[in-house]
Structure 1
Amino acid sequence: MLAGCAAVSLAQASSSPSPQVQPCSITLDRHQEGLWLSAQLRFELSAPIVDALQRGIAVFFVARAQVRQYRWYWSDPIVAEAMRYYRLAYQPLTNRWKVHLGFGEINDPALGSSISQSFDTLADALAMIRNIPRWKIAEGAALSDTARYDVAFQFDLDTTQLPRPLQIGTLGTSDWDISLYATRSLASQP
């Protein structure tokens, strides 16, 4: 049940040091209770991103999953959607990295559940972001046993959450372009 991720990035076309985005693996696990997605992402941060983090600017990553019911005769309806975001920040006073994992919209005050964890190194913090274990993306009641579904997974660095002057500075550069996309078909159950 593995599918590869297609890296949608202009990073390789640039001669400057930019984010390194590589293929990833996705696993779908369906049970009566619902549909779970697990992913192993592979990407590196560019020097400008690390520099911004070390200056105290938080960086946001957004993971989205969309489940569509396949229909050959009409457009595919969206059966379920799930979103989670990661806020990565460096805390200079404690010399620690902090990852905040939230579910739902980033600016939604009624955010469902969220967790925060601190790490000693950037590599440890990125390891948490790169590994998405058993994320429930659809309820079992929303899925029919006889239908075929297509699952689209997307993972992006959200530059809209950066301070305005930095947003303008990221336009047209590949240094801030981290984007992964993958699709997977889920056949009907016997």
Structure 2
Amino acid sequence: MSQFIKQFTLCILIALSLFSAVANAEGIKLKSAELERVDNDWLLNATFKIELSPGLEDAVQKGVVLYFQTEFDVTRSRWYWFDEKPAMAQRLTRLSYQPMTQQYRIASEGFTFSAKTIFEALQAVGSIGGWRVIDGSQIDASKSYTAALRMTLDLSRLPKPFQVNALNNRDWNVTSDWVRFPFLPTGPNLIKR
């Protein structure tokens, strides 16, 4: 009987680990980020890996438009007062599906792109290149800062019936964690995961 209990326990542990691996596969994860100085400004180049649940993929193919919000900020710790936030930036990227052309359409800040597959479309949504996030006049080159970056699925822009569904369904709450990294205006600023 004890052999049966051991085998049963082992099967349960394997099933739980497979379930957690599937649950962790979906979402948004930062793969790399780099702050690059161009003239007096700082541009962000970043890559996110985005994986949607089958329900979200199906919703996009049925005409639901998804909006992904990318947020960036720079802070400097101060012992005597609240942290200073000299720079903040937000960017909205729109993902939709066009049934007539059978293509996904990505739009962000005047840039549009078409993709044949959801995989290509999500790669385009997760690729950020040359985004101006810091004006050189906003920071002091002699001080060190902390940069923070994240991407989320903006549920507030969904149609109202889907917003209600999103509140009750974890599959619709797609977000990355805030990733914080040191930002030195005089040095290289690169993060890879």
Q: TM-score range by the shorter chain?
A: 0.7 to 0.9
Aligned residue number for residue 30 of structure 1: 37
Residue 86 of structure 1 and its aligned partner are, at CA, apart by 0.7
Query: Aligned-residue CA RMSD in angstroms?
Result: 2.3
Task: Name 1:116's counterpart in structure 2.
Answer: 112
Q: Distance in 2 between matches of 1:14 and 1:164?
A: 31
Letter in 1 for 2:54: A
User: Does residue 158 of the first structure (1) align with residue 165 of the second (2)?
Assistant: no
Q: 1:16 to 1:54 in 2, by over 3 A?
A: same
TM-score, scaled to structure 2: 0.78
Match of 1:85 among 53, 69, 92: 92
Q: TM-score, normalised by structure 1?
A: 0.79
Q: SS of the counterpart of 1:74?
A: coil
Question: Over residues 107-163 of structure 1, what are the superposed CA-to-partner deviations in whole Å (9 max), with x where a residue is unaligned?
Answer: xxxxxxx22222222222111111112321011111211111111112000111111
1:1-190 to structure 2, matched below 5 A, reads: 19-30=26-37, 32-102=39-109, 114-180=110-176, 181-187=178-184, 189=186
Distance 1:149 1:17 in 2: 31
Higher share in helix: 2
Deviating runs (4+, > 6 A) in structure 1?
Answer: 14-18
Distance 1:39 1:16, change over 3 A: closer
Native 8 Å contact 1:65 1:153 kept in 2: yes
Segments of 5+ residues of structure 1 without an aligned counterpart are 1-11, 103-113
Distance 1:81 1:17 in 2: 29
Separation (CA, whole Å) in 2 of partners of 1:184 and 1:173: 31
- Give, in whole Å, the separation in 2 of the partners of 1:87 and 1:25: 21
Matches of 1:30 and 1:70, distance apart in 2: 22
Q: Identity over the aligned pairs, expressed in percent?
A: 27
Name the count of aligned residue pairs: 168
Aligned mates of 1:23, 1:175 — CA distance in 2: 19
Code of the aligned partner of 1:183: R
Q: Distance in 2 between matches of 1:82 and 1:187?
A: 18
> Which structure has the larger Rg over C-alpha atoms?
2
Provide, for residues 80-104 of structure 1, a one-character-per-residue CA deviation record: whole Å limited to 9, x for no partner: 11111111000101111100103xx
